[in-house]
Structure 1
Amino acid sequence: MTSSRDAALVGRRPWTERPLWQVGFAAALVAAAASVIVYVAARAAGVPMELTEVFEDHFARMPVMNMAWAALLEGGVGGTALAVACRRWSRRPRSTFVVLATTGVIASFALPVTSDASTATKVVLSISHVVVALVIVPALARALPSRHSRSGG
């Protein structure tokens, strides 16, 4: 027989009991929406959001969907894969994940900073990297155990 407390816990499983892919997927969706909001706000403020096309010499406006896809694929899929690897091979999955994810976010600034975009566009792209990380990294970190249990799990 289950108590009402047990039933309540089943209905709202804590982050640490959810599969990482669920946490990563939910966080990626929120991050994608936040990234699109950053883009729309930047465009409303007059930021050109233009970059040169690959193998081209002319500037073109970056589609808003690029922001969403980057958050979903690079942030969500990449972050989830990193979290899975940390859970599998690290003695301290949570702290290892946070250190590696933070290092990855810092490294990700190389792309917008070295692009030939305007300074305003570079700033907006860098802000979007931070926004995506602020959504995905804490969500996945909370879903990871602090330490592996002695039983090997």
Structure 2
Amino acid sequence: MRTLALRGGGRVAVVDAEWSDAFGVVTRGRVQLELRDGEPGPVLGRDAGFWLRGTGVRALRNPGRRTARVRIVTPTAARRPTHPNANHPMIEDDMNSMNDTGVVAGPASGQTSRRTHRLRGLAGAGLVATLAAMAATTLAAALAQAAGVDFEVPDGGESIPLSGFAVVTGFFSVVGSVVAVALLRWSARPAARFVWTAVSLTAISFIPPLLSGANTATIAALLGLHLVAATVMIPTLARSLHTRTD
């Protein structure tokens, strides 16, 4: 029996020869199982147990910031070395004394570098998508004005300027990009959760125009502009998240 301590962002590979018939129990924090096909596995919480043999798990990873601990139980026979002198009394004593040892794993430099690269790549994709969404909504608003939509909101008594559409779109697009980065960092299924979150927030954003008291044409145009921004941002960030977790 041994205790594995995984620092925040830490990762330790599962080697079949060393982890044969091993059973793990999470005693502190959260541990994510990294599958052999490259897909992120489930995130296990405290007191969750799992077998390693035959499960296709290639590594254990700590998705959080605090140190996670896993108690690993393996048969004594599986831990004995295949050394020519393995039957020597001194070697047997050494192996028996290894019970309940502590192993500490921290984030490897390569793993940290890859994670930083993914985060920077996603942030870059978010910036490009934000600029595209700002341009698309501003152009759509200009076309709507040309078609006769006044964009006048009764509370303010003035028409919304084109620059206002660009600023609001840019602000909420940046918020969406931050949400995507956070999910990439801490979620086991960032793409799916981002789509669900973004669609929900888009639906909520329909409420202010509907309650604004503006005329029907203005309300319809405002709802359409929200959809334009969402159509640009959501697929772009979701695709980037999916690509960077493969």
Report the TM range for the smaller structure's normalisation. 0.7 to 0.9
Root-mean-square deviation (CA), in Å?
2.0
The residue that corresponds to 1:73 in the other structure is 171
Task: Give the drift of 1:52.
Answer: 3.3
Identity percentage of aligned residues? 37
The TM-score, its normalising length taken from structure 2, stands at 0.49
1:125 to 222, 226, 237: 222
Contact 2:119 2:181 in 1 (8 A): no
The residue that corresponds to 1:11 in the other structure is none
Distance 1:98 1:31, change over 3 A: same
Greater Rg, structure 1 or structure 2?
Answer: 2
Higher strand proportion = 2
The residue that corresponds to 2:150 in the other structure is 48
The residue that corresponds to 1:10 in the other structure is none
The aligned length equals 129
The TM-score, its normalising length taken from structure 1, stands at 0.78
Distance 1:142 1:18, change over 3 A: farther
Moved more, 95-104 or 19-28: 19-28
Higher helix proportion = 1
Q: Could you tell me which amino acid in structure 1 is paired with residue 147 of structure 2?
A: A
Q: Could you tell me which amino acid in structure 2 is paired with residue 128 of structure 1?
A: L
Which stretches of structure 1, 4 residues or more, deviate above 4 A after TM superposition?
Answer: 146-149
Contact 1:24 1:80 in 2 (8 A): yes
Give, in whole Å, the separation in 1 of the partners of 2:224 and 2:178: 23
Q: Deviations over 1:78-108 (max 9, x none)?
A: 1101101211221100000000000000010
The residue that corresponds to 1:32 in the other structure is 134
